[in-house]
Amino acid sequence: MNDTSKFALALGDDALTMGQRLSEWISHGPFLEEDIALANVALDFMGRARMFLSYAGELEGEGRSEDDLAFLRDTREFTNLLMFELPIGDFGQTIARQYLVDAFEAPYFEALCNSKDETIAAIAAKVVKECRYHLRRSRDWVIRLGDGTEESHQRMQDGIYEMWPYVAELFEMPEYETRLAEQGIAVDRDVLRAGWEKEVMATLAEATLSAPQDGHAIRGGREGVHTEHLGFLLSDLQFMQRAYPGLEW
Amino acid sequence: MNAAAALIQPQVPEQVLTALQGVVDPEIPVLTIEDLGILRDVRMAGDEVVVTITPTYVGCPAMVEIRENIEKALGEAGVEAFRVETSLSPAWTTDWMSEAGRRKLLEYGIAPPSPRSVACPQCGSEDTRLISEFGSTACKSLHQCNACLEPFDHFKCH
């Protein structure tokens, strides 16, 4: 795989794992409207995964389709960031992850709209509008739950603590991504850090929540070194194609 | 016709256009693909008709069905050589929805895209509230009218 193919694969894997996790909420949402909303956000991530994985396969040039890449790779070949694969936990944990990711992705995909790779720029232009909408919703939930009842506050705070060690990875780049950023194809993630911190700190303050200060960071997703949770996620996602290769819906 | 309308090459036969005008959105069957702004371009490549469509949301599950419906409509109209292509750029926006489309949505009971206050499609009151950012599909949000109390869908601005 060349650099751009790896980059598209990584963005596709992020979207696929998040879409799969969110879809676990279907029929388990806290109430009907929220169930539908979570499913719709999942759908946005799945659509994004399809576009990036198709493009990664096309660039690779070995005939692998989006389905081959989604269903026929094992954990070590997945390059999603760790935060995206973590279990959904309770609603507070799901919303904590969603907000921390949305707050990164809205400005990230806005910047990626200027990519010199036309396909990546076109996908980013579609995705950014959805990210902004997701952010509006997840921010609202963080504030409502954080500044809500004693229990909702505690669950929201626990969610933020649980997700925080995985934030550092959002701003890190493997070598191929740094090379692509120098060529104007990818975006320097570190440039987005200050804006992200400003957005998140303001929301946490309004939600009467706090962020951990210890700087503990867990990383490895882009190198294919994952948490134990990814294998379980894939066993669910890939079962049908593994048990019945080539099965069509 | 506005700037956002589909580009239709003058050489495209009338029967093709008539067939395409009959293709509707499977989720909101009062809207044609032209009303929605997802029909972008119809042109001839030699003897072949090339229809270009663009997705609304990246994960819109209706795209497959829309493509199949276009193929079915062209086939039934006796068009022999055609293909349907998808383009992503420029990204679809609700600004491309036609005036006729907005009117038909309202009559169907769905509030058309509005960046500010969303008026109730039943009684017209602007005293409404958002219930959920997502309605029955990714392109709609769920609202309720404070005047007549009817819940309703709003086709989101995008």
Evaluate whether residue B54 is within a structural domain: yes
Instruction: Tell whether ipTM is more than 0.90.
Output: no
What domain range is B54 assigned to? 7-95
Residue B135 to chain A, least CA–CA distance (Å): 7
pTM: 0.92
Mean pLDDT of B63-86: 94
Q: Contact B138/A40, CB-based, under 8 Å?
A: yes
Across the interface, which of B60, B89, B136 has its CB nearest the CB of A47?
B60
Comparing C-alpha atoms, which of B35, B9, B40, B12 is closest to residue B23? B35
The predicted-structure confidence for A26-53, as pLDDT tens digits, reads as follows 999 999 999 999 999 999 999 999 999 9
Q: What is the CA radius of gyration of chain A?
A: 18
Evaluate whether residue B69 is within a structural domain: yes
- Indicate the number of domains in chain B: 2
Judged against a pLDDT cut of 70, whether residue B4 lies above it is answered with no
With beta carbons under 8 A apart, name residues in chain B contacting A51.
Answer: 58, 88
Angle (CA) B11 B17 B21, round 5°: 160
Kindly report the average pLDDT of chain A as a whole number.
Answer: 97
Comparing C-alpha atoms, which of A173, A15, A20, A197 is closest to residue A100? A197
The predicted-structure confidence for A160-219, as pLDDT tens digits, reads as follows 999 999 999 999 999 999 999 999 999 999 999 999 999 999 999 999 999 998 889 999
Angle (CA) B110 A43 A29, round 5°: 85
- A to B CB pairs, distance under 8 Å: 66
Q: Contact A36/B60, CB-based, under 8 Å?
A: no
Of all residues in chain B, the percent with pLDDT exceeding 70 is: 97
- Indicate the number of domains in chain A: 1
Evaluate whether residue A249 is within a structural domain: no
Of all residues in chain B, the percent with pLDDT exceeding 90 is: 76
Q: How confident is the model at residue B138 (pLDDT cuts 50, 70, 90)?
A: confident
Judged against a pLDDT cut of 80, whether residue A60 lies above it is answered with yes
B71 with B137, same domain?
no
- Tell me, what amino acid is at B106? L
Mean pLDDT of A60-79: 97
What domain range is A128 assigned to? 3-243
- Around A44, how many Cα atoms within 13 Å sit in the side-chain half-sphere? 24
Judged against a pLDDT cut of 50, whether residue B82 lies above it is answered with yes
CATH number for the domain that contains residue A124:
1.20.1260.10
Q: Contact B134/A47, CB-based, under 8 Å?
A: no
Judged against a pLDDT cut of 70, whether residue B1 lies above it is answered with no
What integer pLDDT is reported at residue B7 of this predicted model? 87
What integer pLDDT is reported at residue A200 of this predicted model? 98
What integer pLDDT is reported at residue A243 of this predicted model? 96
Q: What Cα–Cα distance (Å) separates residue A114 from each residue in A61, A108, A176, B90, B135?
A: 25, 11, 18, 13, 32
Evaluate whether residue B136 is within a structural domain: yes
